[in-house]
């Protein structure tokens, strides 16, 4: 037990002491050069979406989503304003099934702002997206305002490629349609991600 503890302490000290600009070259196993103004990222996310519940705005009553978990994918482009802040656009697609196997489709189109925390080769983006969500269920179409806070963690394989996972919350406020009042859907997104830096 003591030997394992000593090895762990040695590894932590080693990484801490050598995580300096001397080792921030592209071939380093410790760290890579940071981002700067003008750097861009193109990313692809694909994974699962979990319909959680709906709520209204009169009594804030909650309702079962009446859907299974589904699939979602997103294409994202980001532009660095500083070494830690980037902005960009997302275009996504998500779908889930009701108990009768009817498809419920969503196409969110959002702008986003992201703050990136970097630790060696690991990066932890905290982002907030807002935009419009195009909805379809059978012959019914509607649109919604969508807000998406998210946190991700990924590892920079080299100066160009990163791999990781994204955890996001979707709050989709549907516009009234006919006799239907304002209602909001709540969804959880878990998506493995691939990032290309250029």
Average pLDDT over the chain, rounded to an integer: 83
- Give tens-digit pLDDT for 45-102: 999 999 999 888 877 778 777 788 899 999 999 999 998 999 999 999 999 988 888 8
Which CATH number goes with the domain that contains 171?
2.40.160.20
Q: How far is CA 32 from CA 12, 84, 130, 158, 169, in A?
A: 18, 14, 31, 7, 30
Q: Is the domain of 88 the same as that of 119? A: yes
Number of separate domains in the chain: 2
Residue for token digits 């807002």? 130
**Is 179 strand, coil or helix?**
coil
Q: Is the domain of 17 the same as that of 50? A: no
Q: Is the domain of 135 the same as that of 150? A: yes
Q: Which of 193, 107, 101, 197 is nearest to 146 (CA)?
A: 107
pLDDT of residue 65: 77
Burial category of 10 from C-beta neighbours within 10 Å (exposed 0-12, middle 13-18, buried 19 and up): exposed
Q: Is the domain of 2 the same as that of 82? A: no
Strands 85-97 and 70-80: antiparallel
Q: Is 129 within 8 Å of 141 (Cβ atoms)? A: no
Of residues 50 and 27, more confidently modeled = 50
Q: List the domain range (segments joined by +) for residue 130.
A: 35-197
Q: Is the domain of 137 the same as that of 89? A: yes
């Amino acid at each position: 037990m003591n030997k394992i503890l000593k090895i762990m302490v040695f590894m932590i000290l080693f990484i801490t002491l050598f995580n300096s600009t001397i080792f921030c070259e592209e071939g380093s196993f410790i760290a890579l050069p940071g981002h700067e103004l003008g750097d861009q990222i193109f990313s692809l996310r694909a994974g699962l979406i979990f319909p959680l519940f709906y709520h209204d705005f009169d009594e804030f009553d909650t309702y079962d989503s009446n859907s299974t978990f589904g699939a979602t994918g997103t294409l994202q482009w980001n532009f660095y304003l500083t070494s830690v802040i980037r902005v960009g656009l997302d275009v996504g697609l998500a779908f889930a099934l009701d108990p009768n196997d009817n498809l419920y489709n969503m196409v969110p189109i959002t702008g986003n702002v992201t703050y990136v925390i970097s630790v060696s080769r690991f990066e932890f983006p905290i982002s907030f997206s807002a935009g419009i969500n195009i909805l379809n269920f059978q012959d019914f179409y509607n649109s919604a305002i969508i807000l998406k806070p998210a946190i991700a963690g990924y590892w920079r394989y080299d100066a160009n490629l990163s791999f990781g996972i994204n955890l996001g919350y979707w709050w989709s406020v549907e516009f009234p349609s006919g006799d239907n009042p304002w209602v909001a859907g709540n969804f959880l997104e878990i998506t493995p991600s691939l990032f290309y830096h250029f």
